[in-house]
Chains A and B, each alone.
Chain A
């Protein structure tokens, strides 16, 4: 993995960009020409070298910039980090998961030395080095969850398991796709999924919940989800709609290639050992339509998926105000040729 980190922004001048390597490893979500919600959960096993599935927690060229963006969001609004008091074991569990995973996957960038409860953590890309006592909050500059979450890409929600349900009781969400962790904190699994159209009557959430309640330590699972957005803005939370809402009407047929992004969430779920909670990571990957179209089958398939998308889903995914310019931009790239099943780039 190339560990050169981009200098880029996710707001203001939007200098976010993907290298060709980053485009190639983009977790393209559409296997077929049509899309409908499904449980689509698979084992989170190690994927091909270089792919976003190679390691349990992926670090890429956007790492440093995303951590900076996270810090900006938190400095403006600290309610993006929610930690209910009964989740302290889960906080330490999450810290352990992130630190052990990063140090095992990227030993040149992250190092963890464990001597009983005395831990030594080195994060070279962010220039962090700390000694602390595992389990002793006073030895860290802040609570363990916030400390480690400021050093990882993507949003994380940790769910407490009780009453045969999962509750979103711990989370740091700074790059969310039009939702709010402050609003969802404490909600049960079905409560926070309730807005998804057509999924409840398909029984998807009953099945997914039942599956997750049995999630085993050591056997994490994953799924992908997707949206689209205008401008590579990570923070499109419900609270800041006034800031980004107008972006959505700025896309035209002419600028859609550079201005509109396919936004894929790689969601992974890990059972945590001490708390029996489940960590749910939502890592967002964004790619512009122009970059996506460097692989023609990706552009063709996206055109077909968007054209056949159920109107309720298009609305739920916030596409309505810019769907037409996107289709106008994609249409000339689609020769109508048959595409075999699969998400591969060419």
Chain B
């Protein structure tokens, strides 16, 4: 997989628990352009182990001199966000993946409704620059706990003008999604990025209001779940890997030197899907990708976030 070597040039605390990182190509060359909603996967060396997290690029999309990401320090961090907050400073060298877009705007939409919760604002900061450039109609709705948690509010006001609406929960209460979606014209698309309950709630409301599934877009990068250790036997590679409780199947395989495919590392894209040949227990799916029918069939698993309650699993990899 092609990778980019970058150097961090600025780190800024922009809200409680949120840091903003600017990075340029290590050799000073321009970075690839990207489309709004793209992310990169950042590789981090944590105590000799490579840890990879996906972060949205914040734009603007017409500037290829630097990339910007924002990282929220997670309360239950598996190491990644703490590393970014405590170890990364101006001058730090990092390796990142090429930009990938799993959250792109739908170019035939009549209107775009962007709904952000907290750090979920980041993909919209690049999407907005695309929407402004191509002149599409949109509204941004940004919900956060309180003023101290409102990262990038000034930039947003500058970028969006009267198209941005803010919902500090301690002042205005929660964003009323039903009210918001009920009044949108036919042909609108809604995009949501934020905490699980917000994303799930919006999807449910949209569905109840009769929005077509293809008009509702969401992004959440899930962290791999922890669980009891088990052994994975790789059929094609003819090797066995023990998955410890604090690593994902994918991470454990990578530790063992297996070149397994991946893209989002968050259970969203399906790129890492593998065939389960045998399992002496139960698969525990944490992804957003497999259909209910596929889960019931128990023949596939996304090793980036999912695992199993078993002692041994055989996969076709």
Chain A residues within CB distance 8 Å of chain B: 86-89, 135, 160-164, 210, 214, 216-219, 273-276
Q: Is the pair A217, B100 in contact by a Cβ cutoff of 8 Å?
A: yes
- Measured in the bound complex, the distance between the Cα atoms of B130 and A289 in whole Å is 51
- Measured in the bound complex, the distance between the Cα atoms of B273 and A210 in whole Å is 11
Chain A contacts for B34, CB-based, 8 A: 217, 273-274
Number of A-B residue pairs having CB atoms within 8 Å of each other in the complex: 55
CB distance from B59 to the nearest CB of A (A): 12
A86-B107, A273-B34 known; A217 vs B98 contact (CB < 8 Å): yes
Q: Is the pair A214, B99 in contact by a Cβ cutoff of 8 Å?
A: no
0/1 interface trace, chain B 27-61, chain A, CB 8 Å (1 if under): 00000111100100000000000000000000001
* Residue from B106, B130, B269 within 8 A of A214 (CB atoms): B269
A162-B106, A163-B214, A276-B104 known; A216 vs B1 contact (CB < 8 Å): yes
Chain B contacts for A160, CB-based, 8 A: 107
Q: Is the pair A89, B270 in contact by a Cβ cutoff of 8 Å?
A: no
Interface size on B, residues (CB 8 A): 24
* 3 A-B pairs with the lowest CB-CB distances in the bound complex, closest first: A273-B33, A86-B107, A276-B35
- Measured in the bound complex, the distance between the Cα atoms of B38 and A88 in whole Å is 19
- Measured in the bound complex, the distance between the Cα atoms of B134 and A164 in whole Å is 22
CB distance from A89 to the nearest CB of B (A): 7
Interface of B is mostly: loop
Interface of A is mostly: loop
A162-B108, A210-B270 known; A216 vs B263 contact (CB < 8 Å): yes
B271 at the interface (CB under 8 A from A): yes
- Measured in the bound complex, the distance between the Cα atoms of B99 and A219 in whole Å is 11
* Residue from A89, A162, A163, A218 within 8 A of B134 (CB atoms): A89
Q: A217-B32, A275-B107 are in contact. List 9 more A-B contacts (CB 8 A).
A: A86-B107, A86-B108, A135-B62, A162-B106, A216-B1, A218-B2, A219-B2, A274-B61, A276-B38
Q: Is the pair B104, A214 in contact by a Cβ cutoff of 8 Å?
A: no
Chain A contacts for B269, CB-based, 8 A: 214
B101 at the interface (CB under 8 A from A): yes
- Measured in the bound complex, the distance between the Cα atoms of B214 and A86 in whole Å is 18
- Measured in the bound complex, the distance between the Cα atoms of B35 and A161 in whole Å is 12
The residue on A at minimum CB distance from B35 is A276
The residue on B at minimum CB distance from A164 is B214
